[in-house]
Structure 1
Amino acid sequence: MIKRLFYEFGEINVFKNFVIAIMKEGITVKPEYNSYLEEIANTYFANKPFGYITYRKNSYAVDPMVYLKTSEIKNLVAFAVVAKDGQKISNTEIERIFFKKPFKDFTNLDDAKDWVNELIKGYE
Protein backbone atom coordinates (compact mmCIF):
# COMPACT_ATOMS: atom_id res chain seq x y z
CA MET A 1 0.00 0.00 0.00
CA ILE A 2 1.23 3.48 -0.89
CA LYS A 3 -1.07 5.57 1.31
CA ARG A 4 -4.15 5.31 3.55
CA LEU A 5 -6.42 8.35 3.33
CA PHE A 6 -9.29 9.11 5.72
CA TYR A 7 -12.38 11.16 4.86
CA GLU A 8 -15.74 11.96 6.46
CA PHE A 9 -17.34 9.19 4.36
CA GLY A 10 -14.70 6.48 4.89
CA GLU A 11 -11.16 5.52 3.93
CA ILE A 12 -9.36 5.10 0.62
CA ASN A 13 -6.25 2.94 0.40
CA VAL A 14 -3.96 3.77 -2.50
CA PHE A 15 -2.01 0.97 -4.21
CA LYS A 16 0.16 0.87 -7.34
CA ASN A 17 -2.67 0.26 -9.85
CA PHE A 18 -5.86 0.92 -7.89
CA VAL A 19 -7.57 2.32 -4.84
CA ILE A 20 -9.70 0.38 -2.38
CA ALA A 21 -12.49 2.40 -0.78
CA ILE A 22 -14.24 1.33 2.42
CA MET A 23 -17.23 3.52 3.16
CA LYS A 24 -18.58 4.15 6.66
CA GLU A 25 -21.72 2.45 7.86
CA GLY A 26 -24.95 4.34 7.07
CA ILE A 27 -23.55 7.11 4.84
CA THR A 28 -24.81 8.10 1.40
CA VAL A 29 -22.15 8.35 -1.29
CA LYS A 30 -22.85 11.65 -3.06
CA PRO A 31 -21.62 13.10 -6.37
CA GLU A 32 -19.66 15.82 -4.55
CA TYR A 33 -17.37 13.12 -3.11
CA ASN A 34 -15.95 12.72 -6.61
CA SER A 35 -13.74 15.73 -6.01
CA TYR A 36 -11.71 13.58 -3.59
CA LEU A 37 -11.35 10.82 -6.16
CA GLU A 38 -10.31 13.35 -8.81
CA GLU A 39 -7.65 14.68 -6.42
CA ILE A 40 -6.39 11.14 -5.76
CA ALA A 41 -6.31 10.43 -9.52
CA ASN A 42 -4.23 13.55 -10.13
CA THR A 43 -1.91 13.03 -7.16
CA TYR A 44 -1.19 9.30 -7.28
CA PHE A 45 -2.06 8.29 -10.86
CA ALA A 46 -1.15 11.30 -13.00
CA ASN A 47 -0.97 10.17 -16.65
CA LYS A 48 -1.43 6.54 -15.54
CA PRO A 49 -4.50 4.29 -15.72
CA PHE A 50 -5.96 3.05 -12.44
CA GLY A 51 -8.91 1.15 -11.05
CA TYR A 52 -11.37 1.79 -8.23
CA ILE A 53 -12.41 -1.06 -5.93
CA THR A 54 -15.17 -0.46 -3.44
CA TYR A 55 -15.02 -2.99 -0.64
CA ARG A 56 -18.55 -3.06 0.74
CA LYS A 57 -17.93 -4.25 4.29
CA ASN A 58 -20.56 -1.84 5.63
CA SER A 59 -24.11 -1.02 4.66
CA TYR A 60 -24.54 2.35 2.96
CA ALA A 61 -26.42 4.03 0.12
CA VAL A 62 -25.06 5.26 -3.21
CA ASP A 63 -26.60 8.07 -5.22
CA PRO A 64 -26.31 6.53 -8.72
CA MET A 65 -25.60 9.97 -10.17
CA VAL A 66 -22.15 9.68 -8.58
CA TYR A 67 -21.20 7.27 -11.39
CA LEU A 68 -21.80 9.84 -14.12
CA LYS A 69 -19.14 12.08 -12.57
CA THR A 70 -16.84 9.16 -11.78
CA SER A 71 -16.98 8.06 -15.43
CA GLU A 72 -15.50 11.42 -16.43
CA ILE A 73 -12.18 10.73 -14.67
CA LYS A 74 -10.10 10.06 -17.77
CA ASN A 75 -7.49 7.73 -16.29
CA LEU A 76 -10.00 5.66 -14.28
CA VAL A 77 -10.32 2.52 -16.39
CA ALA A 78 -12.13 0.02 -14.15
CA PHE A 79 -14.64 -0.09 -11.30
CA ALA A 80 -15.03 -3.16 -9.10
CA VAL A 81 -17.50 -3.84 -6.30
CA VAL A 82 -16.61 -6.42 -3.67
CA ALA A 83 -19.42 -7.65 -1.43
CA LYS A 84 -20.26 -10.93 0.21
CA ASP A 85 -23.89 -9.95 0.85
CA GLY A 86 -26.35 -10.65 -1.98
CA GLN A 87 -28.26 -7.37 -1.49
CA LYS A 88 -25.07 -5.33 -1.83
CA ILE A 89 -24.29 -7.19 -5.07
CA SER A 90 -27.82 -6.79 -6.49
CA ASN A 91 -27.53 -3.00 -6.13
CA THR A 92 -24.72 -3.06 -8.68
CA GLU A 93 -27.17 -3.87 -11.48
CA ILE A 94 -28.60 -0.34 -11.18
CA GLU A 95 -25.22 1.29 -10.56
CA ARG A 96 -23.73 -0.35 -13.66
CA ILE A 97 -26.25 1.52 -15.87
CA PHE A 98 -24.73 4.87 -14.85
CA PHE A 99 -21.06 3.93 -15.19
CA LYS A 100 -19.66 4.03 -18.73
CA LYS A 101 -16.47 2.00 -18.23
CA PRO A 102 -15.69 -1.62 -17.26
CA PHE A 103 -17.69 -2.42 -14.10
CA LYS A 104 -17.72 -5.79 -12.40
CA ASP A 105 -18.80 -7.23 -9.06
CA PHE A 106 -16.96 -9.81 -6.97
CA THR A 107 -17.36 -11.71 -3.73
CA ASN A 108 -13.59 -11.87 -3.20
CA LEU A 109 -11.21 -8.89 -2.89
CA ASP A 110 -8.27 -10.73 -4.47
CA ASP A 111 -10.35 -11.54 -7.57
CA ALA A 112 -11.21 -7.85 -7.93
CA LYS A 113 -7.54 -6.87 -7.63
CA ASP A 114 -6.57 -9.44 -10.27
CA TRP A 115 -9.28 -8.19 -12.66
CA VAL A 116 -8.19 -4.56 -12.28
CA ASN A 117 -4.51 -5.46 -12.71
CA GLU A 118 -5.32 -7.37 -15.91
CA LEU A 119 -7.22 -4.38 -17.34
CA ILE A 120 -4.33 -2.05 -16.42
CA LYS A 121 -1.91 -4.30 -18.33
CA GLY A 122 -3.98 -3.67 -21.44
CA TYR A 123 -3.23 0.07 -21.17
CA GLU A 124 0.52 -0.26 -20.67
Structure 2
Amino acid sequence: MIQRIDTDFCELSIYAKYAILKVFENVFYDIEKATIVHQKFQEFFQNKPFVLITERNFKHEVDFSVYKGNALQNIEGLAIVSANPEERERAVLEQPLFNKSFAFFEQLTDAQNWAEAFFR
Protein backbone atom coordinates (compact mmCIF):
# COMPACT_ATOMS: atom_id res chain seq x y z
CA MET A 1 0.00 0.00 0.00
CA ILE A 2 1.27 3.43 -0.91
CA GLN A 3 -1.17 5.58 1.03
CA ARG A 4 -4.17 5.24 3.32
CA ILE A 5 -6.73 8.02 3.63
CA ASP A 6 -9.45 8.07 6.27
CA THR A 7 -12.51 10.29 6.07
CA ASP A 8 -15.57 10.45 8.30
CA PHE A 9 -17.46 8.17 5.87
CA CYS A 10 -14.84 5.85 4.31
CA GLU A 11 -11.34 4.43 4.20
CA LEU A 12 -9.27 4.61 1.01
CA SER A 13 -6.23 2.43 0.41
CA ILE A 14 -4.15 3.55 -2.55
CA TYR A 15 -1.89 1.15 -4.45
CA ALA A 16 0.14 1.69 -7.62
CA LYS A 17 -2.54 0.39 -10.03
CA TYR A 18 -5.71 0.30 -7.94
CA ALA A 19 -7.54 1.75 -4.97
CA ILE A 20 -9.73 0.07 -2.37
CA LEU A 21 -12.75 1.98 -1.08
CA LYS A 22 -14.45 0.86 2.14
CA VAL A 23 -17.57 2.87 2.92
CA PHE A 24 -18.48 2.75 6.60
CA GLU A 25 -21.66 1.19 7.95
CA ASN A 26 -24.97 3.02 7.52
CA VAL A 27 -23.45 5.69 5.27
CA PHE A 28 -25.38 6.98 2.28
CA TYR A 29 -22.72 7.21 -0.45
CA ASP A 30 -23.93 10.07 -2.60
CA ILE A 31 -22.56 12.53 -5.16
CA GLU A 32 -21.04 14.77 -2.47
CA LYS A 33 -19.07 11.89 -0.95
CA ALA A 34 -18.13 10.51 -4.36
CA THR A 35 -16.73 13.92 -5.31
CA ILE A 36 -14.47 13.91 -2.24
CA VAL A 37 -13.24 10.41 -3.11
CA HIS A 38 -12.69 11.35 -6.75
CA GLN A 39 -10.60 14.34 -5.68
CA LYS A 40 -8.35 12.01 -3.68
CA PHE A 41 -8.01 9.70 -6.68
CA GLN A 42 -7.20 12.64 -8.93
CA GLU A 43 -4.48 13.82 -6.53
CA PHE A 44 -2.76 10.45 -6.57
CA PHE A 45 -3.45 8.90 -9.97
CA GLN A 46 -3.81 12.15 -11.95
CA ASN A 47 -4.52 10.88 -15.48
CA LYS A 48 -3.02 7.40 -15.05
CA PRO A 49 -5.48 4.50 -15.47
CA PHE A 50 -6.42 2.53 -12.36
CA VAL A 51 -8.98 0.05 -11.05
CA LEU A 52 -11.38 0.83 -8.22
CA ILE A 53 -12.21 -1.95 -5.77
CA THR A 54 -15.13 -1.36 -3.41
CA GLU A 55 -14.97 -3.63 -0.40
CA ARG A 56 -18.51 -3.86 0.90
CA ASN A 57 -18.28 -5.49 4.30
CA PHE A 58 -20.55 -2.90 5.91
CA LYS A 59 -24.19 -2.28 5.07
CA HIS A 60 -24.55 1.08 3.34
CA GLU A 61 -26.57 2.63 0.55
CA VAL A 62 -25.23 3.87 -2.78
CA ASP A 63 -26.89 6.65 -4.76
CA PHE A 64 -26.75 5.26 -8.30
CA SER A 65 -26.39 8.79 -9.66
CA VAL A 66 -22.69 8.60 -8.64
CA TYR A 67 -22.23 6.65 -11.88
CA LYS A 68 -23.61 9.43 -14.09
CA GLY A 69 -21.07 11.22 -16.20
CA ASN A 70 -18.26 8.84 -15.23
CA ALA A 71 -16.46 11.66 -13.39
CA LEU A 72 -13.07 9.98 -13.54
CA GLN A 73 -12.37 8.81 -17.04
CA ASN A 74 -9.21 6.98 -15.93
CA ILE A 75 -11.06 4.37 -13.84
CA GLU A 76 -10.65 1.41 -16.18
CA GLY A 77 -12.35 -1.22 -14.06
CA LEU A 78 -14.63 -1.57 -11.05
CA ALA A 79 -14.64 -4.56 -8.72
CA ILE A 80 -17.20 -5.03 -5.98
CA VAL A 81 -16.16 -7.35 -3.15
CA SER A 82 -18.63 -8.89 -0.73
CA ALA A 83 -19.70 -12.27 0.56
CA ASN A 84 -23.22 -10.89 1.09
CA PRO A 85 -25.75 -12.14 -1.51
CA GLU A 86 -27.65 -8.82 -1.25
CA GLU A 87 -24.54 -7.00 -2.46
CA ARG A 88 -24.35 -9.32 -5.47
CA GLU A 89 -27.96 -8.42 -6.31
CA ARG A 90 -27.18 -4.71 -6.00
CA ALA A 91 -24.07 -5.17 -8.16
CA VAL A 92 -26.28 -6.58 -10.91
CA LEU A 93 -28.21 -3.29 -10.83
CA GLU A 94 -25.03 -1.22 -10.81
CA GLN A 95 -23.22 -3.02 -13.62
CA PRO A 96 -25.17 -1.40 -16.51
CA LEU A 97 -24.38 2.03 -15.02
CA PHE A 98 -20.62 1.55 -15.40
CA ASN A 99 -19.51 1.37 -19.02
CA LYS A 100 -16.09 -0.24 -18.50
CA SER A 101 -14.87 -3.53 -16.99
CA PHE A 102 -16.98 -4.59 -14.02
CA ALA A 103 -16.51 -7.62 -11.78
CA PHE A 104 -17.86 -9.08 -8.55
CA PHE A 105 -15.72 -11.05 -6.10
CA GLU A 106 -16.33 -12.65 -2.74
CA GLN A 107 -12.69 -12.31 -1.64
CA LEU A 108 -10.60 -9.14 -1.62
CA THR A 109 -7.46 -10.98 -2.74
CA ASP A 110 -9.28 -12.14 -5.89
CA ALA A 111 -10.21 -8.55 -6.73
CA GLN A 112 -6.66 -7.38 -6.06
CA ASN A 113 -5.27 -10.08 -8.37
CA TRP A 114 -7.78 -9.02 -11.05
CA ALA A 115 -6.72 -5.39 -10.65
CA GLU A 116 -3.00 -6.25 -10.85
CA ALA A 117 -3.55 -8.40 -13.96
CA PHE A 118 -5.65 -5.70 -15.57
CA PHE A 119 -2.61 -3.72 -16.73
CA ARG A 120 -0.31 -6.59 -17.77
TM-score of the alignment, normalized to the shorter chain, above 0.5? yes
- Pairing of 1:78-97 with structure 2 (within 5 A): 78-97=77-96
Task: Return the alpha-carbon distance in structure 2 between the equivalents of residues 72 and 25 of structure 1.
Answer: 24
- Pairing of 1:102-121 with structure 2 (within 5 A): 102-121=101-120
Gaps of 5+ in 2: none
Identical counterparts, % of pairs: 27
Cα RMSD (Å):
1.3
> Which secondary structure does the structure 2 equivalent of 1:91 belong to?
helix
Task: Return the alpha-carbon distance in structure 1 between the equivalents of residues 37 and 30 of structure 2.
Answer: 12
CA deviation profile, 1:30-83 (whole Å, cap 9, x unmatched):
0222222332232211231111100011000111111124x2312110100000
- Pairing of 1:1-124 with structure 2 (within 5 A): 1-69=1-69, 71-121=70-120
User: Is the CA contact (8 Å cut-off) linking 1:77 and 1:120 kept in structure 2?
Assistant: no
Gaps of 5+ in 1: none
TM-score by length of 1: 0.89
Runs (4+) of structure 1 moved beyond 4 Å? Answer: none
